[in-house]
Structure 1
């Protein structure tokens, strides 16, 4: 302890080096370590003390030093305290006799103590990753101006696997990517490691994200060849100190394409031997490799059903290969038939429910938040709560394939929370999706949450500054699925811009309203999949000529002269029966379903009376108008916030809001023009005519839309 006090005294006098000044272009994300007000800066600890020579502990200490230097504007620390960080095995931490036993491997403790008469903030954990997460938690407090005295905080993640899925291809294109090329420069790896990889790791570690799938779920077999394993290993080496494991998407037919086998049948001994040898090869190069993500028998991808095997058969073959190394398999449940299905929304349940309990212990089934495909609003997927014997992961899409790409301001924290809070009633009231995926509902040791990344080579990482908030919200809700999305939005706004309440409060109001506005001008009242073909950019509710029925928007809205909506009750596809009885009864009754999901579950008359007495047709039109008005309100709100934001990021956001308002109007006009042609109803009194005839909207073409 005397040596610790002496070291503290020496470090109090050491000036920390300030980071180089950068343009406010969004690169720093929420890790903007800018000078704090003098009084706040003076109260900061003067030194960072870390005695353990562990790469993750060093990363935590360096991040704290970087933050403190930035907050002080490069001036020497003048505070009266220090930050002491380490694991339970460090003598200085052990001397404090801290209650760390309940923190697991990734939890942390922040506590204010006194050592030798001097104040010390302790960051302690059982493992280095917990120390790293604790360091970022303390940085958040400092940056937001929250009290640093009297700390006694413990926290640990509720979900074990918190993983980003990169839909990145080997040529650096990104499927559904709207922020430039892939950040993984496969051509130059493994020899040239972009320094950006470290900043990527820092950002993810600050949120508690602990895994990343490097390549697209529509995988190329080449990803599993020796040269690409070496490239993945170079990325893994960079990410490892930040507590992040790498995973790879595996192509199910790789034994044929790479191994020269005549089959990929998961029950064939030669196929299983090939996967075992491949896993052994990967783990020799990447000892802490996380495992495989697999998309099978969906959208043309090969899979076990090609050999009349189940998804459990397919998953278990790969699981057996990685199990000796502690690896896992994440098997996606996004499947739908090649032929005309009764209801695409039912396909996953139909194929996966019968094999509940037949998956190996190291397999998780990864399920999209809704049963269709990342729509602006969907009911929660019926598989949640329906497979109690199988660990389930929820898959969210952070990149906004169906929500205006990167130019529309749509905060997804509310969408994530809406799914996580949904009650499956699998074991009675309170059986939320969050409890399914954190493992607590069915006592699973494995748990996970995945997000399809919106990260690219753009300087601001995600295409727009406000799309960074969706990366942030995913990470914070992955750590704690019960987190309040409004509080998360406020946290992000305060870290990314300024914690001044005069800025944060209206910004949060704007963010929280943004998703409903997008739903209103794109897919109101439970409509879905009205986007144009392929690229999913802009409206296309009239599309009906695609090869497969379920690719057509007309398949989903089923509008005719009498009404609109997809009947998923007993008189239709009966998809409601896939939910637990209390949920099924609510969704089956149009008076109880709720207006936000009405047309998802019901085909109703254009003249149906809604809660306020208006007809469905009038309500539909006014929802479109409400969505456009919502974007106009956001523009006004952003205009008023100009004094709080640097010119570069303010102008960037303002220009995108102008795009969003123009495109919201386009969505509104095109959709109303089309549905009026079907319904034969006049526009409600006082409602403006669409700007162009319907044929004009149908003629729009966008062959070079990004991310397709």
Structure 2
């Protein structure tokens, strides 16, 4: 056979290839050889034959209410999805003026006459709010239909995507029944994109926003971006970097932002802009940026009016102020509430909001006098609780340091009951191996959202705090985007899963991260257990593996300086103490770890009393946070009886072993994944294995040097000397600055 194939005519080979593709159609693996990742989880590949037959018999067309831009987007998505799932042309699925047997019916609150179970649908809509929806198989005047009902056009779009998702996951069409709505009203991506198209902490190419060509040249990719986000219920996007430039508020850039807003609007997405606090001063239109100066407030009010004339549904401003050298109200002796409220009053007539970031740490009065960075946001914002205007949301990072592989939840969650809070997650993996390492962030997001703050001495998870359960102040959720100009959007296939997981958990913080991983894997590859089971297993072990080979047992901020690539626990010569990794791990002959108890910085006291008591005692501190809260001797006995030194080394070894296991698992799915994506992931896993070994070796070499201890019995020594690791430099690492 092999000899025959070598000499077969090209036409015969093409026919054989077509035969293989047609055969794959019945398994959900069709078009595999053509898949470059651009379609994300909206691939809409032909369903297995039995499901396709069931769906085909129940789809005769799509009946919609009046054709608004959003209803048109919903109808177009249904046609696109059904055409792909059924293996038909899109024009084979007609638009209908009236429902008929087998049609998909989109209906706002005014339900079609003759609907069999109209009262049940109305009860569902009564709880669905503006973004929710009801999907069910029912009858209209005796004819079987699929009803997608909502109170608003955007609810119809979300319901359409939800129905298509269920079909992609293998659900029987006549068994799909959904009633869903988001837990949070504001679900936003933060793009750290610069006006020259570079992306800070971006590992997927240039910014998708081609500012140079806007507003007159509109990339079709913007529409696909909007589709992908709407499929998850993401309803806002901050277009530019939090380290903002004053020019973003110039008339020319407002026009560019308006052009993007026009594309995103039908998909329920509002645009926001990051603004630089000193913009009017830098543009030489005021003599100060003092928020209490009436001329400054008047300038911002005029600028807000100007923006809303171009973008009527503009979301508002995101502000990074008095942090990492950025200007802010504290430059004028004012506080964060003074600054946020001045901007909020400029936006209030237009129903806009101010999202004010709580990632702040102050410059030291003296280089040797640095307070614990983990405590500074709480110290600055807790006294301001209740002093922000109602259209201000304080955006708090998931942890108090800076998007580390693992951090305890930020103590501000639960500590500001009179202020709506936004969660800020980082979807791009600044500290987790960029787009090279396979690290699924769903467990990280879940871990934070389910953290019990014990606010008010009662159980109160972070998710419930965001939802307003503590005192009625509803917040939102934001994610620093990992999206760029790469064909597959995120730089690697598996980083798409982090965008997906962020969106799904923003919609419903109670979702299980493993279930979300299964959804993503089934839609991204195929709803086939031979693919989904091993892929999900890889995903669910990946974050813990990265923590083990990078920062086990609560270590943090020991990455390379500036670019944050690779290990550098030895760095001790930066301009301020809390920029240096040695500040955070404090390894020496006496032990390792940062003391945040009463004998140290006492940052533990910022948590609710019950939580603080648990973290204050190393015996009751979860092992994954041990060195975050405690400085302990190397011979400290861990719960398993091993010494801290032995346990630390074992974690590093385990992390490397887990990456090797992930490589082996990926090899087993080769027959079921297209060659292009398989090879790309395989190469990245091989690089991850090399870099995990580098992390392991460099960190063990350094900590052994600091501890002055022999390696535990049977442990392989690092491949190179500590000096060799210290000499490595990476001046052109991506996403840096």
TM-score, normalization by structure 2: 0.92
Query: SS state of the match for residue 182, structure 1?
Result: coil
For 2:106, the equivalent position in structure 1 comes to 85
Report the Cα distance in structure 1 between the residues aligned to 2:153 and 2:651, rounded to whole angstroms: 51
Alignment of 1:109-120 (within 5 A): 109-120=134-145
> Alignment partner for residue 68 of structure 1, among 48, 66, 82?
82
The partner residue of 1:174 within 188, 193, 199 is 199
Offset from partner CA, 1:571-628 (integer Å, 9 cap, x none): 0000000000000000000001011000000000001111111110011001000000
Residue of structure 1 equivalent to 2:67: 53
Quick one: which of 373, 376, 388 aligns to 1:344?
Answer: 373
Choose from 212, 226, 235 the match for 1:187. Answer: 212
Contact 2:656 2:696 in 1 (8 A): yes
Determine the structure 1 residue equivalent to 2:408: 379
Pairing 1:582–2:610 present: yes
State the 1:20 CA deviation.
Answer: 11
Shift of 1:429: 3.5
**Residue 557 of structure 1, aligned match among 585, 589, 606:** 585
Determine the C-alpha separation between the residues in 1 that align with 2:31 and 2:634: 61
User: Where in structure 2 are the equivalents of 1:618-697 lying within 5 Å?
Assistant: 618-697=646-725
- 1:533 is aligned to 2:564: no
1:475 aligns with 2:498: no
The alpha-carbon deviation at position 118 of structure 1 amounts to 2.7
**CA-to-aligned-CA distance 1:540-569 (integer Å, 9 cap, x gap):** 000000001111000000011110000000
Where does residue 269 of structure 2 map in the other structure? 244
Q: CA deviation at 1:302?
A: 0.3
Select between 623-632 and 499-508 the one with higher mean Cα deviation. 499-508
Contact residue 349 and residue 382 of structure 1 kept, 8 A: yes
State the Cα deviation string for residues 252-279 of structure 1 (Å, max 9, x = none): 0011012421110101100000000000
* CA contact 2:31–2:45 (8 Å) conserved in 1: no
Give yes or no for contact 2:33–2:674 (8 Å, CA) kept in 1. Answer: no
Q: What is the CA-CA distance between 1:26 and the residue it aligns to?
A: 0.5
Q: Structure 2 CA distance, aligned partners of 1:705 and 1:150?
A: 50
Q: In terms of mean alpha carbon deviation, does 190-199 or 118-127 score higher?
A: 118-127
Among residues 232, 247, 258, which one is paired with 1:233 in the alignment?
258
Match of 1:421 among 443, 447, 450: 450
Matched, 1:165 2:190: yes
C-alpha displacement of 1:324: 0.2
Please tell me the root mean square deviation across aligned C-alpha atoms, in Å: 1.6
Name the CA distance, whole Å, in 1 between partners of 2:732 and 2:399: 28
Pairwise CA distance, 1:694: 0.3
Give secondary structure in 1 for the equivalent of 2:34.
coil
CA change 1:63–1:571 in 2 (3 A) is same
- The residue aligned with 2:464 is 435
Give the 3-state SS of the residue equivalent to 1:676 in structure 2.
Answer: helix
Q: How big is the shift at 1:23? A: 2.7
* 1:320 corresponds to which of 328, 331, 345: 345
Q: Secondary structure at the match of 2:416?
A: coil
Aligned residue runs from structure 1 range 258-407, under 5 A:
258-339=283-364, 340-407=369-436
Gaps of 5+ in 2: 1-29, 95-99
Name the stretch that deviates more: 479-488 or 83-92: 83-92
Tell me if structure 2 keeps the 8 A contact 1:569–1:575.
yes
Q: What's the counterpart of residue 4 of structure 1?
A: none
DSSP 3-state at the match of 1:570: coil
Partner of 2:173: 148
The yes-or-no answer on 1:493 pairing with 2:521 is yes
Q: 1:149 to 1:561 in 2, by over 3 A?
A: same
Give unpaired runs (5+ residues) of structure 1. 1-18
Is 1:26 aligned to 2:55, yes or no? no
- 1:376-432 CA-to-partner distances (Å, cap 9, x unmatched) read 000000000000000001100000000000000000000000000000001233200
Corresponding position: 1:42 with 2:56: no
- The list of structure 1 runs, each at least 4 consecutive aligned residues, that deviate by more than 4 angstroms after superposition, is 19-22, 75-80, 90-95
Partner of 1:563, secondary structure, is coil
Within 2, Cα distance between the matches of 1:315 and 1:605? 45
1:441 positional shift? 2.2
- Tell me, in whole angstroms, the C-alpha distance in 1 between the residues paired with 2:347 and 2:518: 41
Aligned-residue offset at 1:22: 8.9
Do the aligned residues in 2 keep the contact of 1:52 with 1:90 (CA within 8 Å)?
A: no
Match 2:228 to one of 198, 203, 220 = 203
How many residues are matched?
Answer: 689
Distance (Å, rounded) in 1 between the aligned partners of 2:429 and 2:486: 16
User: Is the contact between residue 93 and residue 124 of structure 1 (CA under 8 Å) also seen in structure 2?
Assistant: no
Query: Which one is further off, 501-510 or 125-134?
Result: 501-510
Q: CA deviation at 1:93?
A: 9.3
Alpha-carbon distance in 2 for matches of 1:634, 1:20: 26
